[in-house]
Structure formats: structure tokens, C-alpha cells
């Protein structure tokens, strides 16, 4: 089992004819992902990577029955691409792009309210279910199939979390990068709920970071549920208070008053297993083998 995407997921790529899209879609195809087409306005009716190209997402969905999309579009095009995907009622949309204007993300968040679409990102490595589906830029060779879920706010440390699962001689059910930006689509609670509903996921690795309040909100949710699955958590960043002068966008929301140690304490109080070093995650995971 897995969450959000699996071997049966049919996906399209928005912006498929671009250089980065071509590179990563080819890798995803070789990985076994069911990429069934793509979109590039003005190039509908052509073929790219032996896949049909459409002008719009609605056309692509109608012809391919796709339920997911991965977007490789410029920052200022993300809002329009997201609107297309949401209006086409896709289940999952992954946005790799960084530097998406904050105003645009506010509008995307408004579009998502009441929709069926789970929007992952922006500024995310994507989502991968090992040996089944890869939507994004994950280095697929480091992933092993297993029953540990991984969800992370720090793109680079997502890979560290995966390697820690491997060090414990375990594998991953699904790995989700939430995205590094101050405003994102799905959050920790969305991923934690899905992993708790997935019978195959036995434990979860959660990697947070300084800035914003996503970890605190997730801790409150986890504290109040029954039948908890083990969550091994790590919070990245400087342990001291992080002021605005450092330029970390997410920290603006907390006015520089929440440190990594504060977040770690909150997660621990909620019942999560918190490690001080990302390289200690495998030691805690090994206890659940």
C-alpha cells in the first residue's frame, strides 16, 4: 500500500516539453510511473517522449483518464497551471517550482478549498512510492520499498530521512516532500492522516524545520488521536531563536520567538519520538522492526 500515488496512478506532466520536465519525466517513465501524457499550450496534437501532448489539462484528462499531475512550469505560471488542474478535478498535483509569488499561493489555497485536489508543494522534490510511482525530482535509486512513511518540510533532508530508513534496513511506503515555502498545499496533518489510514505503513519519519507553525499544528492533531502509529521526528535549524534579520521567510509568522528546541519539546509532549540529530533516526526505527 501507499498514500496518494501508486502503481495504478495515471499522471500527466504540465509543461512536458521543457528541458527539466523532459529529463525527469523520462526518469519517471523508466522507473515505471504511468505517465500518460502532458500539456504545453500551443503544442496540442504533437508527441513528446512518445507521449501525447495536449493544450489543456481538461483535454489531457478526457483522453487519458489521468488522476494526477506533476508541474514543471515557471513561477508566474503556477497559478494558472494549478487552476487548470483543480478545475479538471485531479486527485493529486505536484508543483516542483520554487519562487512562486506569495500572492499567487494565496489564490491557489483559495481554489483548493472545497476541491478534491491534494496540492503538493510548491518548491518540493515531489512524492515517490518506491517501485511504483515517482512524481518529481527524487533520486529514485536511494529508495527501497517498505513500510515506513516519510514526510518532510525540508527538501534536502527528505533524502536524509530516506537514507536513515535504509540504514535501519527498512524501506519506505511513500515519501512526501511538503515543500520549503512559507505557504504550501498539503501539510503534515494531511500526510500523517493518510499514513495512519494506510495499513502498510507501520511507522512515520517526520522532518520539520524552523519557521512557520506546521509542526505545532501537527503535534496538536497527533496528541488528540487514538491508535497512534509511532512518529520519529526531527526539527532542522539553529537551536537558538531565529530573528527576521536572518531572512528566513517562514520565521516571520512566529516573529522569531519559536526555536528548534521549542518545536522539539512540543512534538515530544504530543507523544512523538524526537531525535536531536537526523543521523539518529535509524536507531529509533530499528526498535520497530
Tens-place pLDDT, residues 100-144: 999 999 999 999 999 999 999 999 999 999 999 999 999 999 999
Give the position of cell 528548534. 260
| Cell numbers 522569531: residue | 256
Tell whether 117 and 186 lie within a shared domain.
no
Residue 134 lies in a domain: no
- End-to-end Cα spacing for the chain: 18
Report d(CA 203, CA 224) in Å as an integer: 18
**Domain assignment of residue 39, given as a range:** 1-124
- pLDDT at residue 246, as a whole number: 41
User: Do 88 and 177 lie in a common domain?
Assistant: no
Q: d(Cα 51, Cα 259) in Å, to the nearest integer?
A: 48
Instruction: Provide the number of structural domains found in the chain.
Output: 2
Sheet holding 51-54, edge to edge: 47-48, 51-54, 34-39, 10-14, 68-71, 92-95, 118-120
Output the pLDDT for position 105.
97
Looking up residue 231, the CATH number of its domain turns out to be 3.40.50.261
What is the DSSP-derived secondary structure letter of residue 17? T
Residues 90 and 44 in one domain: yes
| Among the ranges given (11-15, 132-136, 209-213, 272-276), the one the predictor scored with the smallest mean pLDDT | 209-213
What's the pLDDT tens digit per position in 15-63?
999 999 999 999 999 999 999 999 999 999 999 999 999 999 999 999 9
Interstrand relation of 172-177 and 126-129 (parallel, antiparallel or unpaired): antiparallel
Q: Is residue 288 part of a domain?
A: yes
C-beta separation of 191 from 2 below 8 A: no
Strands 92-95 and 118-120: parallel
81 is a domain residue: yes
Tell whether 164 and 277 lie within a shared domain.
Answer: yes
Amino acid at each position: 500500500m501507499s498514500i496518494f500515488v501508486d502503481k495504478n496512478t495515471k499522471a500527466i506532466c504540465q509543461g512536458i516539453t521543457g528541458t527539466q520536465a523532459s529529463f525527469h519525466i523520462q526518469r519517471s517513465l523508466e522507473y515505471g510511473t504511468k505517465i500518460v501524457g502532458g500539456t504545453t499550450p500551443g503544442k496540442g496534437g504533437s508527441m513528446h517522449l512518445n507521449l501525447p501532448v495536449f493544450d489543456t489539462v481538461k483535454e489531457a484528462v478526457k483522453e487519458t483518464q489521468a488522476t494526477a499531475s506533476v508541474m514543471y512550469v515557471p513561477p508566474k505560471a503556477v497559478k494558472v497551471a494549478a487552476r487548470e488542474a483543480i478545475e479538471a478535478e485531479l486527485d493529486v498535483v505536484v508543483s516542483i517550482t520554487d519562487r512562486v509569488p506569495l500572492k499567487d499561493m494565496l489564490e491557489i489555497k483559495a481554489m483548493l478549498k472545497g476541491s478534491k485536489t491534494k496540492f503538493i508543494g510548491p518548491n518540493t522534490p515531489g512524492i515517490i512510492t518506491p517501485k511504483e510511482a515517482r512524481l518529481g525530482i527524487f533520486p529514485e535509486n536511494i529508495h527501497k520499498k517498505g513500510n515506513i512513511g516519510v514526510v518532510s518540510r525540508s527538501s534536502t533532508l527528505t533524502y536524509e530521512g530516506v537514507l536513515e530508513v535504509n540504514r535501519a534496513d527498512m524501506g519506505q511506503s511513500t515519501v512526501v516532500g511538503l515543500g520549503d515555502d512559507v505557504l504550501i498545499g498539503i501539510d503534515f496533518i494531511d500526510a500523517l492522516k493518510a499514513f495512519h489510514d494506510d495499513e502498510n505503513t507501520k511507522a512515520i519519519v517526520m522532518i520539520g524545520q524552523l519557521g512557520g507553525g506546521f509542526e505545532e499544528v501537527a503535534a496538536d492533531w497527533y496528541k488528540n488521536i487514538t491508535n497512534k502509529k509511532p512518529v520519529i521526528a526531527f526539527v532542522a535549524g539553529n537551536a537558538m531563536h531565529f530573528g527576521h534579520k536572518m531572512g528566513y521567510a517562514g520565521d516571520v509568522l512566529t516573529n522569531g520567538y519559536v526555536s528548534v528546541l521549542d518545536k522539539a519539546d512540543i512534538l515530544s509532549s504530543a507523544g512523538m519520538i524526537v531525535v536531536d540529530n537526523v543521523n539518529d533516526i535509524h536507531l529509533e526505527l530499528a526498535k520497530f522492526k
